[in-house]
Chains A and B, each alone.
Chain A
Amino acid sequence: MADVCLLTTDLGGCDGQRRQPPNGTPLFRGPGVQSSFELPDAVPRTLRTSPVSAPVGFRALPVMLSSPLPVTVFVRGTHRRLWAPSHIEAHHPICQNCYIQFGNLKEIYRNISSDQVGPANVSCRDSLLRSDRLMLVFLLYDNLLEIWGWSDCKHCLAVDQHSLTNDTLYYMAILNESLSCFEKHQQQGNHSELCKECKPTYKHLNDLYSRMDVNKTLCIDIEDAMNMTRRLWSKNFNCSFPREETVPVIAVSSFMLFLPIIFYLSSFLHSEQKKRKLIHPKRAKSSNSVANIQDKYS
């Protein structure tokens, strides 16, 4: 996550005005990021020999490749297993934290890929996008776009992509309400109390989520948060529905299963068995032919 945001800011170096990460944006520092500025050796040759000296921030790119990229986490099919971190703290909202940076990233990339010619008569597009065989910048941007696409962030962002939608904010408020309720009752140590007390808010949250699911206004933040909450509710606090009606279900089922037995028995005993009338075909010199066969086989 941190990598994503970092990349967007660092890429800003291309047009000369390196931006600092805006204050207040939650930036989680991953292990790869800490050493990102001190690893010139990791920069591939193609980058070093590029006509434009690579901006400082841009050196972070290869590091990010070697560090665990978010891409690997969100590969389709596997990420369904990873949805529910066990603690609230481990939940990283993607859309909420990164939409500003991502907007910047897109802007910058548009700059890079445009035909504008910079100082020394070299265009950014040639020097950055086409300088290496891997087309690293393009590849990274493409991957990030893909991640962004998977996260469905556009559902949570307003049309101008610069703020969260009201739905999302409302959902977050309800979520917090539920979580604080959990927290309050968790300290009492009695989960059955919690199940009872927090049920209205949790149910509200759940319903809201289902409605948003139907409206297709879900993004990864909401899904993750919901998963985490559901996990807390069902697994940690054990508030799922208990299986209580075993006896009636068994009774009804065995009654149903008993019916065919009665049916088959009664039809076997009472129904008239269907008989077939045999017809005897006319055959040539029948006795003769039987005799023939006899001759042949005796």
Chain B
Amino acid sequence: MANITKKVSWSSRGDYSAQGEDTPLLNGDTGAARYTRQLSGGSIFHIGRLSTVDLEEDITTEEDGVLSWPKEIPHNEKLLSLKYESLDYDNSENQLFLEEERRMSYMGFRCLEINRWVVCGLIGFLTGLIACFIDIVVEILAGYKYQVIKKSIVNFTEAGGLCISLILWAVLNSVFVFVGAVIVAFFEPIAAGSGIPQIKCYLNGVKIPRVVRLKTLVVKVCGVICSVVGGLAVGKEGPMIHSGAVVAAGVSQGRSTSLKRDFKIFEYFRRDTEKRDFVSAGAAAGVSAAFGAPVGGVLFSLEEGASFWNQMLTWRIFFASMMSTFTLNFFLSIYHNKPGDLSSPGLINFGRFDSDSVEYNLYEIPIFILMGALGGILGALFNLLNYWLSILRIRYIHRPCLQVMEAILVAAVTATVSFTMIYFSNDCQPLGQDQSEEYPLQLFCADGEYNSMATTFFNTPERSVRSLFHNPPGSFNPLTLGVFTLTYFFLACWTYGLTVSAGVFIPSLLIGAAWGRLFGILLGSISPKDSNTWAGPGKYALIGAAAQLGGIVRMTLSLTVIMVEATGNVTFGLPIMLVLMTAKIVGDYFVEGLYDVHIKLQSVPFLHWEAPATSHSLTAREVMSSPVTSFNRIEKVGNVVDVLSNTTTNHNGFPVVNEFIDNNEPGKICGLILRSQLIVLLKHKVFVERARSRLNQRKLQLKDFRDAYPRFPPIQSIHVSQDERECMMDLTEFMNPTPYTVPQETSLPRVFKLFRALGLRHLVVVDNENRAVGLVTRKDLARYHLGKHGLEELQLAQM
């Protein structure tokens, strides 16, 4: 019984097709049509405005259409995908669980607590290591790339033929991005983008398929290296958060299903509840490694996943964050030949601001707020453009080869635009003593001077941010900054959403820093010459960066702390806070944050903080799915197998009812059992008849359920013979005897609160005789949202 993996074929490809039970996979010829009769969703249907007009006719016409063929519509953001499921955050307190708890000693519980700390430490350590790896590889590869291009440009400036440098640059970029895009598009599409939307969903309680797998981590890390080195307008911080989450999910399980290795440790943590807690620690560790902001990391987890929270968990998460910063600093210090110097934190290092360069006064507060508003507007514009682009991408550019081609094109165009900007720039600045530019390009400037445009374009984005923050006043022309802001804005907007793994933090910061600095320079030029009030464009660059980032991602709490920690300047907290607040308010007026836009576009059943405001009139009866497929306490095996194999009703939780009544009449509820539990029961053939025949058979334990977690085999891979189909199963021991139930009249906001606060997956709706009349799941709740015309309902779609 040590390893179930050996006994059962895990894949659905096994012997199942040979048995001829070829159930169509929800492709909806007969199966899907069966349910269309009940209520046609039609297009989005506005409950708030529902009138009596034409309703009957609507239904009948649609019914005809639907019956012949299921309705197909182009992808839009008002859909819910069927492929997403909830996490089982709620603990199933069945008899096995109680038994295990009884068996466990006091010391056992103490050990568990210690193990949690050990796991968090490991998460922090490994996340820091990954961050360090990414940082160093990017630095080396990008350095090499820029050296080669610089050499070519220097040669060809003298000899003529700069086009060759341009083409070289474009080709180098494209090659890197090609590699990055291929591994993402063909091996693990979920690794595309920054990963923050996915992690946000996971922390919200949605199980995104394959999001926390080892393969995803590998693709993510390689992909982000390729895309940053490939010169795209991207950063490596968002992917770091995803990587941290994957590390957490992997480490806490003490095994890797991909590598088929089981270390036999941390077995207690093999369930969704524990895993989700560790994932939040991993996300925090990722943020902390990316920005050198341990507190910001904790607050990020708090802000994005705060529905299930407790004090000890927060403290553990903080520990993981600290560990990851420490690890990163330690290894980077070794890499920089200063072993033991722990003071250069973070993948992104904004550099220290001298305290006198960020002095601010009361009269500057309105200016900061104005900049915040500007950031909100620009962020909203960014999100809107990116939304249209993403719709186009989902609808038309969905084949992997097309996606790879698009990424290559973007890389080539980015190089071209950068080169053209540098070529035509007349902004020459003298080389300084404390030269921060790693690769100064002279081009047509006088000897001893460098091209100022190249500071921003001919560099990794992160370094560009730093030079915008810290270069002394006068290092940039207003024209240079203006042109740069404009081009980079569109480049970054175009780049986000490509099939490469890359984050949006750094590009946002860069755009913001550029226009912020421009703002500071203009402010200085309109004020009287003798006054020194508006000194320090670096300060305005910082404010602009915060405003732009806040306008795009709309995080407030965590972002403030991250900015404060990354700049190492606490006194600047208030302006940053004000700016982020303004940016959020202004931006939310137009469009949601970028991550929320992408969550919607991926049709994830995401539960927001609260139910839609006007939904109190909706009751559980209208929301729930009905009739319920339920099992008897003692159920026939054949019946169970049939229900589980029915792909049209891909249910996951089944109420267990007391007495057998015919199908039309719901029975009295006495428990709830999950698909995964049933599958494990079937696999182990826990049938009543068998128990009688073989008395010495080992009793099933909770461990057996954990061993199968998280990849429970599909029902098709489980062989049940004809004889066994006639056996009976006793579910009493395994079901959750006290599932949460609500009466039919419960309002939607109430149900919503239960879901959000308890992390429920199934909520049984009962009538006054305690009979299970319906089941509410996450998708039933997530489909209501407040649109322009009142309450709207999203549709379920298969994708």
* Min distance, Cβ A24 to any Cβ of chain B, angstroms: 32
**Do the beta carbons of B412 and A259 come within 8 Å of each other?**
yes
CA distance A243 to B497 in the complex (A): 37
Residues of chain B within 8 A of A230, CB atoms compared: 446-448
A282 within 8 A of B: yes
Binding site for B on A (CB under 8 A): 76-77, 79-81, 83-84, 206, 226-227, 230-231, 233-235, 240-245, 248-253, 256-257, 259-260, 263-264, 267-268, 271, 273-287, 289-290, 292-294, 296-298
User: Once the chains bind, are A278 and B413 in contact (CB under 8 Å)?
Assistant: no
B445 at the interface (CB under 8 A from A): yes
B627 at the A/B interface (Cβ < 8 Å)? yes
CB-based nearest A residue for B618: A293
Supplied contacts A227-B448, A278-B797, 19 more A-B pairs, CB within 8 Å: A84-B448, A206-B447, A234-B445, A241-B443, A245-B162, A251-B163, A267-B396, A271-B396, A271-B397, A274-B394, A274-B395, A276-B74, A277-B71, A278-B796, A279-B35, A280-B36, A282-B627, A283-B38, A284-B624
Q: Chain A residues near B166: list those with CB within 8 A.
A: 249, 252-253
Chain A residues closer than 8 Å to B778, beta-carbon distance: none
- Closest 9 interchain pairs by CB? A234-B446, A284-B626, A286-B39, A230-B447, A275-B72, A276-B797, A256-B416, A230-B448, A279-B796
Within the complex, what minimum Cβ distance (angstroms) separates A174 from chain B? 15
How long is the Cα–Cα vector from A248 to B419 in the complex, in angstroms?
13
Chain B residues 636-676 with CB under 8 Å of chain A are 649
Question: Which one of A81, A231, A241, A280 contacts B35 once the chains associate, using CB atoms below 8 Å?
Answer: A280
B787 at the interface (CB under 8 A from A): no
Residues of B within 8 A of A83 (CB): 430
Q: Separation in Å of the B483 CB from the closest CB of chain A?
A: 15
Contact, CB under 8 Å: B402 / A271: yes
Complex contact A256–B447 (CB within 8 A): no
Whether A284 lies near B170 (C-beta < 8 A) is no
User: Does A241 contact B157, Cβ atoms closer than 8 Å?
Assistant: yes
Instruction: Say yes or no: B170 contacts A256, CB within 8 Å.
Output: yes
Interface residues of B in 730-771 (CB under 8 A from A): none
Secondary structure of the A side of the interface? Answer: helix
List B contacts of A257 (CB < 8 A): 413, 416-417
Contacts of A81 in B (CB 8 A): 430
Task: Say yes or no for B405: interface residue by CB 8 A criterion.
Answer: yes
- Chain B, range 43-61, C-beta contacts under 8 Å to A: 47-52, 55, 59
Q: Kindly state the interface size class of chain B when it binds its partner.
A: 35 or more
Residue contacts A-B, CB under 8 angstroms, 6 given: A230-B448, A235-B446, A253-B416, A257-B416, A274-B395, A277-B797
Determine whether the beta carbon of A267 is less than 8 Å from that of B397: yes
* In the complex, per-residue mask of B396-428: 1 if CB is within 8 Å of any chain A CB, else 0: 111100100110011011001101100100000
Chain A residue numbers with a CB within 8 Å of B339 are none
Q: Does B160 contact A (CB under 8 A)?
A: yes
Interface string of B371-411 (1 = CB under 8 A from A): 00000000000000000000010111111001001100110
Are A263's CB and B409's CB within 8 A? Answer: yes
Chain A residues with Cβ under 8 A from B472's Cβ? 77, 80
CB distance from B443 to the nearest CB of A (A): 8
Query: Are the CB atoms of B41 and A278 closer together than 8 Å?
Result: yes
When the two chains form the complex, which single residue of A241, A267, A273, A293 contacts B74, counting CB atoms closer than 8 Å? A273
* A274 near B157: Cβ-Cβ < 8 Å: no
Query: Which residue from chain A places its CB closest to the CB of B73 in the assembled complex?
Result: A276
Residues of A within 8 A of B627 (CB): 282, 284
Interface centre among B52, B392, B402, B420 (most CB of A within 10 A): B420
Q: A241-B158, A249-B420 are in contact. Are A282 and B622 (CB under 8 A)?
A: no
Asked if residues A245 and B160 are in contact (CB atoms below 8 Å), the reply is: yes
Interface string of B461-482 (1 = CB under 8 A from A): 0000000000010000000000
> What total of A-B pairs shows CB separation below 8 Å?
202
Nearest CB in chain A to that of B426: its residue = A243
Q: Known contacts being A252-B163, A284-B621, A286-B39, is A240 close to B398, with CB within 8 Å?
A: no
Min CB–CB distance B786 → chain A (angstroms): 16
A293 touches B38 (CB 8 A): no
- B797 near A296 with CB under 8 A, answer no
CB distance from A179 to the nearest CB of B (A): 15
Known: A245-B161, A252-B166, A286-B38. Contact between A274 and B82, CB under 8 A?
Answer: no
Residues of chain A contacted by B14 (CB below 8 angstroms)? none
A275 to B798, CA, bound (A): 10
Q: How far is the CA of A242 from the CA of B443 in the complex (A)?
A: 9
Asked if B185 is at the interface of the complex by the 8 Å CB criterion, the answer is: no
**With A76-B433, A267-B396, A289-B621 given, is the CB distance from A277 to B70 under 8 Å?**
yes
CA distance A244 to B395 in the complex (A): 44
Q: Chain A residues near B423 (CB, 8 Å)?
A: 243, 249
Q: How far is the CA of A287 from the CA of B433 in the complex (A)?
A: 79
* List of A residues within 8 angstroms of B396 by Cβ: 267-268, 271, 273-274
Cα distance A132–B797 in the bound complex, in angstroms: 86
Q: Is the CB of B444 within 8 A of A278?
A: no
Contacts of B621 in A (CB 8 A): 284, 289
Q: How far is the CB of B715 from chain A (nearest CB, A)?
A: 20
Residues of B within 8 A of A275 (CB): 72-75
Cα–Cα, bound, A284→B664 (Å): 12
Q: How far is the CB of A22 from chain B (nearest CB, A)?
A: 31
Q: Smallest CB–CB gap between B451 and chain A, Å? A: 12
Q: How far is the CA of A276 from the CA of B78 in the complex (A)?
A: 11
Whole-angstrom distance between the alpha carbons of A81 and B433 in the complex? 10
* Contacting residues, chain A, for B406 (C-beta < 8 A): 260, 263
B79 at the interface (CB under 8 A from A): yes
With an 8 A cutoff between CB atoms, is B535 at the interface? no
The answer for the CA separation of A81 and B472 in the assembled complex, in Å, is 11
B530 at the interface (CB under 8 A from A): no
Using Cβ atoms and an 8 Å threshold, which residues of chain B touch A234?
Answer: 445-449
Select the residue from A83, A84, A287, A297 with max chain B CB neighbours within 10 A: A297
Residues on A with C-beta less than 8 A from B430 are 80-81, 83
Given A80-B430, A276-B798, A277-B28, are A293 and B35 also a contact pair (CB < 8 Å)? no
CA gap between A294 and B45 in the complex, in Å:
13
B40 touching A280, Cβ below 8 Å = yes
Closest CB-CB distance, B426 to chain A, in whole Å?
9
Q: Which residues of A contact B710 (CB under 8 A)?
A: none
CB distance from A101 to the nearest CB of B (A): 24
The residues of B that contact A289 with a CB separation of less than 8 Å are: 39, 621-622
Find the B residue at minimum CB distance from A250.
Answer: B420
Question: Nearest Cβ in chain A — how far from B745, in angstroms?
Answer: 12
By a CB distance below 8 angstroms, the chain B residues around A277 are: 28, 32, 70-72, 797-799
CA distance A268 to B395 in the complex (A): 9
CA of A123 to CA of B75 in the docked complex: distance in angstroms? 91
Q: Which parts of B146-179 form the interface with A (CB within 8 Å)?
A: 157-158, 160-163, 166-167, 170
